[in-house]
């Protein structure tokens, strides 16, 4: 008799994105003939709504892969009984060292990655796919200007732009704004960024956010930041960098290798380093994004163990390293990083080293881990809208105060649904 484990994956619009995971599913089936892994892909923005719909009909998947910013949404999604749909992964493992012969490797997750998905003292979800943001620089421009090292601080970045005569550029996106807040030790919400309890108050006009908005506005006014004119314009800012209209850009680490190849084809080398920090503030570190697997509660023992064993198989060092090489996502376990080091991968592809170095330098505080909050997608949108106004010359304090009021309404609406025992009505993912 075959036990079927239904796995819903968060898909991205990239050619063959799910192919490596489907291949791993086939490998697991070969090692475990009594199991079949049924893989279904949904767009990462649509998946929470699909899960909520299926749960309401009493047929949720056994494993569902939620985008990182939807972590609170996953925690608050309810099954037909009104109880939480998902059980924390760590609770389901229940201290076992192996499951169906697969060694449990959750304890080897990189600390920043494990920390992001830890809530109420338990690992809530198992991440295989992780990314962070890094600074990329044009080595030809730097060398021509006599700049001998990548900038490590906000001030050094501005000085390097002045020396090269070329601006920096990056997308106006809520996730990158969160990175700037985290780097200074700032919080977006109360209750330790929503990590010691449900976030109830959001603050988008904190000292850390005001410092960043003011610096960014000044950088733009002095001609050292290139605004492409479109919020969330990742593509436009990366093109400006590869076309050598900007000396620096900030990119998700998952595309760093792709950008490096494009730069090489354009005749110059790109180099990566951790995000620059505010030299006037204490350093905390930067957070991860990506996706993690959530386990449906109340599954029959054979399906639950099959799902948990499949997760350990995915997190085997060889498979994590392969996922990194194939798709560019961060290696999420210590063993996978060590394997890539032994293979000489980072020596051949140094563009990938900065992201892991950055996460390992984080202090593990609630600030560095990032916020878990209801309707974080909407909150990020409010940040983006506020910063668009700031870049057009608006007063940072006024715009961020208004954004706080608007974001608080979103958070309150999410929490009100949860207080009534409902899955939140807004299932947005950003």
State the greatest distance between any 2 C-alpha atoms of the chain, in Å, as a whole number: 69
> Does 424 fall in a domain?
no
Are both 176 and 247 inside the same structural domain? yes
213-226 per-position pLDDT tens digit: 999 999 999 999 99
> Does 194 fall in a domain?
yes
The predicted structure's pLDDT at residue 289 = 96
Quote the percentage of the chain above a pLDDT of 70. Answer: 100
Are both 114 and 19 inside the same structural domain? yes
302-345 per-position pLDDT tens digit: 999 999 999 999 999 999 999 999 999 999 999 999 999 999 99
Of 366, 386, 409, which residue sits at a domain end?
A: 366
Domain count for the chain: 2
- Per DSSP, helices labelled H in 275-333 are 301-314, 317-327
Are both 409 and 279 inside the same structural domain? yes
**Domain CATH code at residue 176:** 3.40.190.10
116-162 per-position pLDDT tens digit: 999 999 999 999 999 999 999 999 999 999 999 999 999 999 999 99
Are both 343 and 396 inside the same structural domain? no
Are both 111 and 251 inside the same structural domain? no
Are both 156 and 280 inside the same structural domain? yes
Statement: residue 285 has pLDDT above 90: yes
Nearest Cα neighbor of 295 from 28, 117, 415, 34 is: 117
Q: What is the mean pLDDT of residues 15-30?
A: 95
Are both 224 and 299 inside the same structural domain? no
> Does 425 fall in a domain?
no
Are 246 and 136 contacting, i.e. CB atoms less than 8 angstroms apart?
Answer: no
The predicted structure's pLDDT at residue 13 = 87
Q: Tokens 């505080």 sit at which residue?
A: 365
Q: What is the mean pLDDT of residues 33-59?
A: 97
- DSSP code at position 390: H
Quote the percentage of the chain above a pLDDT of 90. Answer: 98
> Does 430 fall in a domain?
no
Are 279 and 154 contacting, i.e. CB atoms less than 8 angstroms apart?
Answer: yes
Alpha carbon distance 268, 139 (integer Å): 7
Q: What is the mean pLDDT of residues 227-232?
A: 95
The predicted structure's pLDDT at residue 14 = 82
Q: HSE-up of 116 (CA within 13 Å, CB side)?
A: 30
> Does 179 fall in a domain?
yes
Q: What is the mean pLDDT of residues 44-69?
A: 97
The predicted structure's pLDDT at residue 279 = 97
Are both 270 and 219 inside the same structural domain? yes
Q: 31 lies in which domain range?
A: 3-130+289-366
Statement: residue 227 has pLDDT above 90: yes
Of 321, 349, 366, which residue sits at a domain end?
A: 366
Q: Tokens 């924390």 sit at which residue?
A: 88
Are both 316 and 338 inside the same structural domain? yes
Are both 59 and 166 inside the same structural domain? no
The predicted structure's pLDDT at residue 15 = 84
Are both 260 and 358 inside the same structural domain? no
165-216 per-position pLDDT tens digit: 999 999 999 999 999 999 999 999 999 999 999 999 999 999 999 999 999 9
- Give the contacts of 376 (CB within 8 A, at least 6 positions apart): 69, 70, 71, 72, 73, 430
Are both 212 and 299 inside the same structural domain? no
> Does 428 fall in a domain?
no
Statement: residue 389 has pLDDT above 90: yes
> Does 213 fall in a domain?
yes
pLDDT averaged over the chain? Answer: 97
Alpha carbon distance 187, 173 (integer Å): 17
Of 348, 366, 384, which residue sits at a domain end?
A: 366
Q: Tokens 């505010």 sit at which residue?
A: 278
């Amino acid at each position: 008799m075959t036990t079927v484990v239904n796995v819903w994956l968060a898909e991205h619009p990239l050619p063959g994105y799910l192919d490596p995971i489907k291949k791993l599913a086939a490998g697991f089936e070969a090692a475990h003939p009594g199991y079949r892994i049924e893989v279904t892909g949904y767009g990462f923005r649509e998946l929470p709504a699909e899960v909520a719909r299926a749960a309401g009909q009493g047929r949720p998947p056994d494993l569902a892969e939620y985008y990182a910013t939807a972590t609170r949404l996953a925690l608050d999604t309810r099954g037909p009984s009104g109880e939480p749909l998902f059980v924390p992964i760590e609770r389901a493992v229940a201290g076992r060292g192996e499951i169906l012969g697969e060694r449990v490797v959750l304890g080897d997750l990189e600390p920043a990655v494990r920390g992001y998905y830890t809530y109420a003292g338990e690992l809530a979800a198992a991440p295989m796919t992780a990314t962070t943001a890094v600074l990329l620089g044009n080595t030809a421009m730097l060398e021509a200007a006599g700049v001998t090292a990548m900038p490590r601080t906000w001030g050094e970045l501005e000085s390097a732009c002045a020396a090269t005569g070329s601006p920096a550029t990056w997308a106006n996106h809520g996730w990158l704004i969160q990175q700037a807040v985290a780097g200074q030790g700032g919080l977006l919400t109360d209750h330790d960024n929503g990590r010691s309890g449900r976030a109830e108050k959001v603050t988008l006009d904190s000292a850390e956010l005001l410092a960043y908005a003011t610096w960014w506005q000044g950088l733009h006014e002095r001609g050292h930041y290139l605004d492409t004119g479109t919020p969330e314009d990742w593509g436009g800012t990366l093109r400006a960098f590869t076309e050598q209209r900007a000396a620096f850009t900030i990119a998700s680490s998952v595309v760093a290798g792709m950008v490096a190849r494009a730069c090489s084809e354009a005749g110059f080398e790109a180099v990566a380093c951790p995000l620059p920090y505010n030299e006037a503030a204490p350093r905390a570190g930067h957070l991860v994004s990506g996706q993690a697997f959530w386990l449906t509660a109340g599954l029959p023992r054979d399906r639950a163990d099959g799902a948990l064993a499949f997760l350990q198989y995915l997190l085997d060092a060889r498979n994590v390293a392969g996922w990194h090489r194939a798709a560019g996502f961060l290696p999420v376990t210590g063993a996978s990083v060590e394997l890539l080091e032994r293979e000489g991968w980072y020596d051949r592809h140094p563009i990938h080293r900065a992201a892991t170095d950055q996460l390992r330098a984080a202090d593990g505080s609630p600030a560095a881990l990032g916020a878990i909050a209801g309707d974080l997608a909407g909150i990020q949108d409010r940040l983006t809208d506020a910063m668009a106004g700031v870049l057009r010359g608006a007063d940072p304090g006024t715009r961020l105060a208004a954004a706080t009021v608007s974001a608080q309404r979103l958070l309150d609406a999410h929490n009100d649904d949860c207080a009534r025992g409902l899955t939140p009505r807004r299932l947005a993912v950003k």
